[in-house]
Amino acid sequence: MAEKKSERVSLLRVLGPAHVWALGVGIVLVGEFTGWNFSADKGGSMAALIVCWFVGLLYTSVAMIDSEVTSTVAAAGGQYAQAKHIVGPLMAFNVALYLVFAYTMLEVADAILVGDLLVEVAAGAGAEVSRTPFMLLTISFLAFLNYRGVLATLNMNFVITGLAYLSILVLFFSVQPWSQGAVLKLGDMVTPDNALPYGWIGVIAAFQFGIWYYLGIEGTTQAAEEVRSPARSLPFGTLSGIITLLIGAAITWYVCASLLPWQLLGSTFFPLFDAARATGSQTLSTILFWGTILSAVASANGCINDASRAWFSLGRDKYLPQWFSAVHPKYRTPYRSIVFLLPIAVAFGAFAGLDQAITFSILSGVLQYTFMSINIIMFRRKWPLDSIQRGYTHPFHPLPAILLFILCMVTFVAIFLGFGSQLIAMLAFYFIISIWFHFFRYKYVDRAAQFTMPWPKPIGY
Amino acid sequence: MWDILETGAWIVSFILIAYIVIDWFRTDRSYSNEMLTSSREGELEAETERLHREEAKGGQNG
């Protein structure tokens, strides 16, 4: 019956700016609860603050650039669709893989985090449990939610992201931030002797983990085909998201650096939870425990949403078998892509470590940001401001693009210092997969159907 | 209590995954692949552009 009712089925346009905010901030916020603090291990508490500012600049550039391009190229796949229209198919294929890797690995890291936190709580209660069932439950529940519909998925993300963010604010105001010495002891924790224990090279090394303050805000673009008004909702949701995160990152550093010595800050997996415990308040500890859990769940939820959209887009354009581009006729979700990525996430969660998952995610993310800096320059050259209507135009071009490119290069140096072999292995993987795509896959791509936006011919063509 | 939670997590996970897999097979069997993969990028943009063109044309005629 349903087949007779409708011959075409597509993703559902039901989302608004709040959902876009929930998607972007939801993916990222877990980085305040864990991840960023390893920058203190690399360079001390002051290095963690310096990278908070500089990486904040990097991501502000990402958010501005993304808002301009995606408010114009409003298609599922986000940066993949941008690359396809602006650079070319090989770049697009690579960008889609960066996206799928970055989000799937982040999802795995989030699920491991939930499992580890529950294992720690159980150990505190004298019980010994495995993290695997909790990790599996997190991934399977969120895959189920994503399978059943995007509106409920992102409604839930809005609520739990808001609650997780609120837990940071509760901690901040509970420790009387206006009165140093009452609870917070920044002057004792960060002294001239220990502020930068490894000097400026420690600051460079810290960039790699400073990424965690904001990693994933660019994920808002994956909702492009499901928002009711892409030109308005995407820039609004993305830019309000980065503002939320900049405030959250500053608060997080201030509270954690004022309560935890840099050695502990740089080694704990749960800096905000430990900061709450350091206050001696059981209530704050409970609130931050749930904040950590909720932020990890929100992040994994957004990651499943984004990875499946990127994979779906690859299938729709025949960059991968078209089978992956199926949309569920009832739930209107890319269900085959969600199902396909589910066992991959579970397998990585079961067999890979947290540090490996995080490293693969960061590497793919930084490769993507490097592309974005080149992409916006090409976009403005091929389609100048007066040639097509944009939902948002970012200011000071090309300064954000140049800044983004420089900061990406610094981050690559930092990654090379810490994870050189993984960086080279990952680049080799993308090189080999590009050769495969060029010689064996591209012949199946429907080239005439690649360019879908109703734009004039680009300058120079 | 933690033993119960651990076992519960395994059971609920398998139920959720089973639901997804069963629904996936049912959906694939109930609908043609052409219909399921009929989504096209830029449909809304193309439709908006078409409406703009028709409006502009109507305005000229009117």
Give me the pLDDT at residue A328, please: 97
SS3 of residue A227 by DSSP: strand
Chain B hits for A8, CB-CB cut-off 8 Å, are: 35, 38-40
pLDDT in tens, A11-29: 999 999 999 999 999 999 9
- CA of A41: how far to CAs of A120, A126, A208, A311, in Å? 22, 30, 11, 36
pLDDT in tens, A69-104: 988 888 888 999 999 999 999 999 999 999 999 999
Q: Does B29 touch chain A (CB under 8 A)?
A: no
SS3 of residue A80 by DSSP: helix
Chain A hits for B6, CB-CB cut-off 8 Å, are: 129-130, 133-134
Cβ–Cβ gap A3/B32 under 8 Å: yes
Give me the pLDDT at residue B49, please: 59
Mean pLDDT on A105-133: 92
pLDDT band, very low/low/confident/very high, at A181 (cuts 50, 70, 90): confident
If contacts are CB pairs under 8 Å, which of residues 41-60 in chain B contact chain A? 41-46, 49
pLDDT in tens, A419-434: 889 889 999 999 999 9
SS3 of residue A15 by DSSP: strand
Global ipTM: 0.88
Mean pLDDT on A372-401: 93
**Rounded CA gap, A68 and A389, in Å?**
10
Cβ–Cβ gap B40/A316 under 8 Å: yes
The answer to whether A322 and A315 have CB atoms below 8 angstroms apart is yes
Mean pLDDT on A278-300: 96
State the pTM of this model. 0.92
The answer to whether A45 and A195 have CB atoms below 8 angstroms apart is yes
Cβ–Cβ gap B39/A129 under 8 Å: no
Q: Taking every pair of C-alpha atoms in chain A, what is the biggest distance, in angstroms?
A: 74
Element (H, E) at B40: none
Residues near A129 by Cβ (< 8 Å), separated by ≥ 6?
A118, A119, A122, B2, B3, B5, B6
- Burial of B54 per CB tally in 10 Å (0-12, 13-18, 19+): exposed
- CA of A124: how far to CAs of A7, A65, A113, A259, B27, in Å? 57, 46, 16, 22, 45
The one-character DSSP state at A339 is H
Chain B hits for A5, CB-CB cut-off 8 Å, are: none
Q: Which residue has the higher pLDDT, A416 or A138?
A: A138
CA angle A311, A7, A17 (to 5 degrees): 50
- Provide the H-helix boundaries in A317-384: 335-351, 354-382
Smallest CA-to-CA distance from A96 within A254, A317, A258, A271 is with A317
pLDDT band, very low/low/confident/very high, at A7 (cuts 50, 70, 90): confident
What is the percent of chain A where pLDDT is above 70? 99
Cβ–Cβ gap A336/B24 under 8 Å: yes
Among chain B residues, CA nearest to A343: B17
pLDDT in tens, B10-55: 999 999 999 999 999 999 999 999 999 999 887 766 666 566 667 6
Cβ–Cβ gap B35/A8 under 8 Å: yes
Give me the pLDDT at residue A2, please: 43
Token pair recorded at residue A164: 């997780």
Give me the pLDDT at residue A95, please: 96
Q: What is the CB neighbour count within 10 angstroms for residue B60?
A: 7
Q: Does B5 touch chain A (CB under 8 A)?
A: yes
pLDDT in tens, A316-349: 999 999 999 999 999 999 999 999 999 999 999 9
Cβ–Cβ gap A452/B38 under 8 Å: no
Cβ–Cβ gap B44/A74 under 8 Å: yes
pLDDT in tens, A202-216: 999 999 899 999 989
Chain B hits for A449, CB-CB cut-off 8 Å, are: 40
Mean pLDDT on A263-276: 94
Mean pLDDT on A24-47: 95
Long-range CB pairs of B26-29 (<8 Å, 24+ gap) are: B27/A328, B27/A329, B27/A330, B27/A335, B28/A326
In DSSP terms, A227 is beta-bridged to A15
- Provide the H-helix boundaries in chain B: 2-30, 33-36, 43-61
Among chain A residues, CA nearest to B30: A3
Give me the pLDDT at residue A418, please: 83
Rg of chain B over all Cα atoms, to the nearest angstrom:
24
Give me the pLDDT at residue A4, please: 42
Cβ–Cβ gap A2/B31 under 8 Å: yes
**Rounded CA gap, A84 and A310, in Å?**
12
Partner-chain residue, chosen from A81, A137, A330, that has the shortest CB–CB distance to B9: A137
